[in-house]
Chain A
Amino acid sequence: MKTICFYFQVHQPLRLRRYRFFDIGNDHYYYDDYTNESILRKIADRSYLPANKIMQGLIKEYGSRFKVAFSISGMALDQFELYAPEVIESFQKLAKTDSVEFLAETYSHSLVSLANPQEFKSQVDAHTQKIYDLFGRKPSVFRNTELIYSDEIGAQVGQLGFKAMITEGAKHVLGWKSPNYLYCNAINPRLKILLRNFKLSDDIAFRFSDQGWSEYPLTTERYVSWLNQMDPKEDNINVFMDYETFGEHQKAESGIFDFLKALPRTIFSRSRFHFATPSEVAERFQPVAAMNVPYPISWADEERDITAWLGNELQQSTFKRLYNLVDDVYRTNDKDILRDWKNLQTGDHFYYMSTKMFSDGAVHSYFNPYDGPYDAFINFNNVISDFALRVEKANTALYGDTEVDKLKINLAEKEALIKEYESLLNKSSLKPKLKVMATKKATTKGTKAPAKTTAKKTTAKKTVKAAAPKKTTAKKAAPKATAAKKTAAKKTTAKKVTAKKTTAKKTTARKTVAKKVVKKAAPKKAVKKAAKPAANGAK
């Protein structure tokens, strides 16, 4: 049995407002509500709602013989909730039937799969949860942003428990192979791979209303005749496209809705194809081979790679800048910051910075709020600057300046140590007669001493390093040293012990001093007593 699998992508980015540099640190609202609302409303009315209505009708007519899958990004869902809740309702209606499957993706429609596995997981989890909350289904098939895929990404997706993943049937990866079979991941063969048939997909998505196209106008009969030309051994055809194809990319006047309405009937009457959802395809067929994709592919542009988002230095540096923040962002545990973090990762922000638009105009400038890549770069980086400041501020408020804190603790320990020495020194000066009694002990401890001093050396070094960058600690260290000197002056032997501390900054000097102490420790018991706790304390 041959199957045809339709899947539609629904995504709208949360566009950023004009964010000038003088807003940095002053204004933390980044979004262009007016543009977002008006674009979303427009597309909902022109595309999502009428298309969903047709889907509903088709399901009513054909029942579970007609099947379709959707991937709706978290960004789109968030905006539907805000501006067009009836779109969610219409999807919920579809979700109640047996004909519709929802796919998982990253919540933000982000490029995180190329940056950070942990963050990737958390975004996928967030999206799965959102789909479950709204539609009562747990997705079992994953599709990454813009169908970005590589062996590693596939392996990660497999680990997250998905049984299949969707990507592009990129020519440079497939070579002579056909996209009309099921494949599996090269690292984890249990993850099935569905490949988009870009020819049959783009015939509808891009060329449908192109009057210069030799096949114009495209009828359902002609389209089905192409399906029938498929090699008899092949299993399944994947037709994947943006949902906005219906009514937005291809306007209603082009007859795209009529095409959509008529297609299932023609498929049933003129071919032997059955409809299937991605998870059904993954279950029904056996993978024919493993896909080897060492470098990431996507469904964008002629090259089918990731250069539309990370192709130039502007995009790469911004990408790096953004994902350098990831750990600090989570440390804040701040609701607003986490929300913005989610929104800022959307791939579209990087897409707008593409300099490919200089040559590859139309697609890249679609709904682009910017004048050009430079404009996009400046605006987005201004936003990130503000965002980074907020993250830093929030963390400082929560944890204080952690570096300083560590040093403060360090200082307190030293302070306690010095007091201990002082008390010991005082005791030993009061009881000089104990010397004779401890002669034997001194020799045994003399052998142990070198090991302890080396341990001390390393710890001492650490404190020196930590102290170096902060001037405040250096200042605090100074009075401590002088205090130590005063007490040390009381006894000549003790002087060397404390001298060791004051000169501790110079490791070479310290070593020689330390050796002297060890040497002299054997004959003089008072020193030995002082040296021992010193070693312990330094630990």
Chain B
Amino acid sequence: MKVLMFGWEFPPHISGGLGTACYGLTKGLSHISGTDIVFVVPKSFGDEDQNSVRLIGASEVEISEKLVNVEGFFKKIKLIEVGSNIVPYTDPEEYMKIVTAYAGKQVELINTQVKGKLKFTGKYGADLFQEIANYALVAIQIALENNFDVIHAHDWLTYPAGIAAHDISGKPLVVHVHATDFDRSGGNVNPSVYQIEKNGFEAADRIIAVSNLTRNTVIEKYGIAPEKVVTVYNAVEPISDEERLIAKRGINDKIVTFLGRITLQKGPEYFIEAAHRVLQRMDNVRFVMAGSGDMMRRMIRRAARLGITDKFHFTGFLRGDDVYQMFALSDVYVMPSISEPFGISPLEAMQSNVPVIISYQSGVSEILKHAIKVNFWDIDAMADAIYGLLNYPALSEFIRKYGKEEVDNLKWENSAIQVRQVYESVVSK
């Protein structure tokens, strides 16, 4: 079975969970014999791991004259103006830059052709909507040039491309929901994004959601028929030896870590409040908020107001090895997300033998047994769980041991088998 897959990013050029998930899934699918994947990204850099997929950069695709005629078909998408700055997966620092740079700038309309090829950044910049539309144009060309049985589009950025390829080829479309705008925005949905998502869901033959939480959002908030939506949980890549660092500890205190974008969706303020409660009763503990985001300054101010800055640290954005280093240093990992479609980072923490506390409002809580689960707003419960893990060695040892075992059994191969079943169900239809 040949799969034409549209993504937005691919390792190592990633800024969020989407690229990691796409990579893991394609790798898992490559273990199933008879599954060939052509993976399209807006821009390929040439250093991606292409063992399991053939990677096509949209910017490398030459657009024929014919395409210009079809162009009218996409007017709707083409004319979407970048009226909002809410964009997904933005490298948080970059996002801040966009917000500042964007003020007062004129909105530009799409510039279709640059010497036969379209320019893509593959980032999540201010021209995002233009890029999405361009990407859809290129998708038509790719759909015409390649032979495939099913189209698989990851997240809203690629839905227009998926729909375009679907319309031109008549092949079934599967869209994969890694997050919806309800998760990203905390309720203040961007209508343009919502429209693209809804179009994608409606055009799709099958929708894959990364958790039941997300599945419910798709069904309830977008009015999609439940039988069309399937839950396939994510997994995690086994940790490699060079990533398994033995970090040097500079201090004797226990370390409790929050790691992720410091945005509304991730619930950083609940972490600070819980930290404050724990610090009232314990001295030999430090809290680390690793990452950056639009709420970071507010969080620093809050920590200062609570008077816990001597025990509460901010690291800024962490990349690559630093992330593993941070895990290696941690005694407890907390993910208090308000709305997390899946949440792969607790799994990474568990791989590094760190006990985790996760919110019930995360997709990953649906599958994890050996994690302490609390409601994101229940700071008392969160504080209690942190205290328990730090003070009762029997508990942390137990969770560490069985959590590792559990996470090692979450394999992309299993997710891939389910995805493959979804393909089969739409192809045979």
Contacts and interface: CB of A to CB of B under 8 A. Distances in A.
Nearest to A374: B372
A318 B393 CA distance: 11
Given A22-B277, A22-B280, A371-B373, A317 B394 contact: yes
Interface string B387-424: 11001111101110010000000000000000000000
B137 to A, nearest CB: 51
B398 A378 contact: no
Contacts of A20: 380, 383-384
Nearest to A25: B281
Contact of B395 (A22, A24, A314, A385): A314
A21 interface: yes
Given A313-B394, A371-B373, A21 B384 contact: yes
A314 B402 CA distance: 12
A345 interface: no
A314 B397 CA distance: 9
A306 B391 CA distance: 27
Contact of B385 (A313, A317, A378): A378
Interface in A280-317: 312-314, 316-317
Nearest to A317: B394
Interface in A344-364: 355, 358
B389 to A, nearest CB: 8
Interface string B361-384: 000000001001100000010011
B394 A318 contact: yes
Contacts of A377: 388, 392, 394-395
B278 to A, nearest CB: 8
A372 interface: yes
A381 B392 contact: yes
Contacts of A340: none
A378 B373 contact: no
Contacts of A379: 384
A334 interface: no
A336 B398 CA distance: 33
A345 to B, nearest CB: 18
Contacts of B399: 374
B281 A22 contact: yes
Given A20-B384, A21-B383, A22-B281, A314 B369 contact: no
Interface residues of B, number: 22
Contacts, number: 56
B394 A378 contact: no
Contacts of B380: 20
A314 B398 contact: yes
B294 to A, nearest CB: 32
A365 to B, nearest CB: 14
Contacts of B385: 374, 378
A358 B398 CA distance: 15
A378 B393 CA distance: 11
Contacts of A371: 373
Q: Name the interface size band of chain A.
A: 20 to 34
A358 B388 contact: no
A343 interface: no
Contacts of B278: 21
Nearest to A358: B369
Contact of B372 (A316, A317, A358, A375): A375
Nearest to A359: B369
A81 to B, nearest CB: 32
A382 interface: yes
Nearest to B389: A378
Contacts of A374: 372, 385, 388, 395, 399
B397 to A, nearest CB: 7
Given A22-B277, A375-B372, A312 B398 contact: yes
B371 to A, nearest CB: 8
Contacts of A22: 277, 280-281, 383
Nearest to B372: A374
A318 B394 CA distance: 8
Contacts of B387: 21, 378, 382
Interface string A494-516: 00000000000000000000000
A30 to B, nearest CB: 15
Q: Which of B380, B383, B384, B393 has its CB near the most chain A CB atoms (within 10 A)?
A: B384
Interface string A157-173: 00000000000000000
Nearest to B380: A20
A382 B402 CA distance: 22
Q: Which of B393, B394, B402 has its CB near the most chain A CB atoms (within 10 A)?
A: B394
A317 B383 CA distance: 22
Q: Which of A314, A355, A374, A381 has its CB near the most chain B CB atoms (within 10 A)?
A: A374
B394 A382 contact: no
Contact of A378 (B281, B388, B397): B388
Interface in B246-297: 277-278, 280-281
A299 to B, nearest CB: 26
Interface in A9-68: 20-22, 24
Nearest to B395: A377
B369 A378 contact: no
Contacts of A358: 369
A326 to B, nearest CB: 19
Contacts of A24: 281
A535 to B, nearest CB: 49
Contacts of B395: 314, 374, 377-378, 381
A378 B397 CA distance: 13
B356 to A, nearest CB: 11
Given A21-B383, A313-B397, A381 B388 contact: yes
A370 to B, nearest CB: 11
A423 B5 CA distance: 102
A389 to B, nearest CB: 13
Nearest to A385: B391
A371 B380 CA distance: 15
Given A24-B281, A378-B372, A378-B385, 9 more contacts: A22-B277, A313-B398, A314-B398, A317-B392, A374-B372, A374-B395, A377-B392, A378-B388, A385-B391
Give the 10 A-B residue pairs with the shortest CB-CB distance, closest first: A317-B394, A378-B388, A21-B387, A20-B384, A374-B372, A313-B398, A381-B392, A358-B369, A314-B398, A21-B384
Interface of A: 20-22, 24, 312-314, 316-318, 355, 358, 371-372, 374-375, 377-379, 381-382, 385
10 contacts: A20-B383, A21-B281, A21-B387, A21-B388, A22-B280, A316-B394, A317-B393, A317-B394, A377-B395, A378-B395
